[in-house]
Amino acid sequence: MDNWLQKLSELNREGIPCIMVTVVSIIGSTPREVGAKIMVTADDLFGTIGGGNLEFQACKIAREQLENSTPQQLKRFPLGAGLGQCCGGLVNLLFEPVIGACEWVPVALDYESLNREWVREVPVHKGAVRVRVFDKDESGLVDGIFIEVNRSDDIELTLFGAGHVGRAIVKAMANLPVRIRWVDSREDEFPADLSDKVELICTDSPEAEVGAAQPGAYFLVMTHEHGLDQSLCEAILKRDDFSYFGLIGSISKRRMFETRMQRRGIDVEKFDRMTCPIGISGINNKQPAMIAISVVAQIMQRYDQQLIKPEKINLSSTGERGL
């Protein structure tokens, strides 16, 4: 689900009661990560916690909870022994009624509208949900409270070039946690009806947009001019705080650029941080859509490798074991 908070707010406004089921801790191989959700109403589902028997049983419990007006509850699911699922890990699910006006929802929406990172604190058995500004927490269970960190979109991608491949990449990233700063000097190359997560920047000085990117940003360079590609490469490699930099092109283009940039004073060691050719191995098709799939997969690999994995936490005050 692209934005669970927006969906929850929509259900709230329409007066549709639901149970929000959230993965709050995991051990071993599991279908989804901590924080994954499904909204269960009497007649519908929104989102997923991985499908299969786990999701089937969770939806059954949630609908019984709606019928019986049961308060929030934490339930433990051994996937192998209990549900017959081959992944065999262990999942703890929080079943959280969202019925009527919830005071924390508009507060969270305000934080989102201001692009603030925020935290939900949810007692797993009883008590009010609290929303506050993000500090240094990580998502997980602590002393009977589910701490859920809601960060703004984790990837900021500055994409230089609105050609066929650039357009295919933006399309392929439509449902991913990515904000795109899309830069080109040719206004007519940008398509209409883009997501609000895509910022169009039409400029004759694209090099200036390298410095405007946030620390930890991702860069893709694929303009219509090799000279501009090289200028952008130089500007990006002078930064030491980016997460990923990909340049479209062949090995020969890379070697030519490295020779030229070395002459212009770029340290040879910095070239190791430039990915060229771009994309994962094993996909050699040159169609724009195929290149886009390969490149997006590579970026998401890098993103996933940088995520902090939640630690196993014991629930000393909830009666749960084996976490």
Provide the CATH number for the domain around residue 162.
3.40.50.720
Tally of domains within the chain: 2
Parts of the chain with a pLDDT under 50: 1, 308-323
- The amino acid at residue 244 is Y
In a domain? residue 24: yes
Q: Would residue 321 count as lying in a domain?
A: no
Co-location of 242 and 163 in the same domain: yes
**Residue ranges making up the domain that contains 264:** 155-306
pLDDT, position 84: 63
Residue 312 lies in a domain: no
The predicted structure's pLDDT at residue 320:
32
| Pair 101, 19 in one domain | yes
Longest dimension (CA), the chain: 74
Residue 135 is predicted with a pLDDT of: 64
Q: Does residue 32 sit in the same domain as residue 144? A: yes
What's phi and psi for 80, nearest 5 deg?
Answer: -75, -65
Could you tell me if 285 and 230 lie in one domain? yes
Same domain, 100 and 21: yes
Instruction: Return all residues near 268 (Cβ < 8 A) that are at least 6 apart.
Output: 258, 262
Mean pLDDT of the chain: 84
Q: Are residues 159 and 146 in the same domain?
A: no
Q: 48 and 124 share a domain? A: yes
* Helix, strand or coil, per DSSP, at residue 207: coil
- Which pair of tokens denotes residue 255? 């070697």
Among the three residues 150, 185, 208, which one is the final residue of a domain in this structure?
Answer: 150
Q: Is 316 a member of any domain? A: no
Are 161 and 279 within one domain? Answer: yes
Q: Which residues contact 184 (CB under 8 A, 6 or more apart)?
A: 160, 161, 162, 166, 190, 201, 202, 206, 223
180 phi-psi bin (left φ>0, alpha ψ -120 to 50, beta other): beta
Domain match, 139 and 51 both: yes
CA-based nearest residue to 295, from 151, 172, 134, 130: 172
Buried b (16+ CB within 10 A) or exposed e, 75-111: ebbebeeebebeeeebbbbbbbbbeeebebbebbbeb
Of 102, 119, 150, which marks where a domain is finished? 150
* Token couple for 282: 């094993």
The strands making up 90-98's β-sheet, listed across from edge to edge, are 45-47, 37-40, 18-27, 90-98, 73-78
Whether 213 and 297 map to the same domain: the answer is yes
Going by the DSSP 8-state scheme, the letter that residue 275 receives in this structure is: B
**Amino acid letter, 58:** A
142/172 same-domain check: no
DSSP 310: P
Let me know if residue 318 belongs to a domain.
Answer: no
User: 157: closest CA among 172, 146, 145?
Assistant: 172
Domain assignment of residue 124, yes or no: yes
Domain shared by 132 and 212, yes or no: no
In the prediction, which pLDDT does 188 show?
Answer: 87
Q: Please give the structure tokens belonging to residue 289.
A: 């859509």
**Residue 286 has what pLDDT?**
87
Tell me how far apart the alpha carbons of residues 52 and 129 are, in angstroms, rounded to a whole number: 29
**Cβ–Cβ < 8 Å for 147, 138:** yes
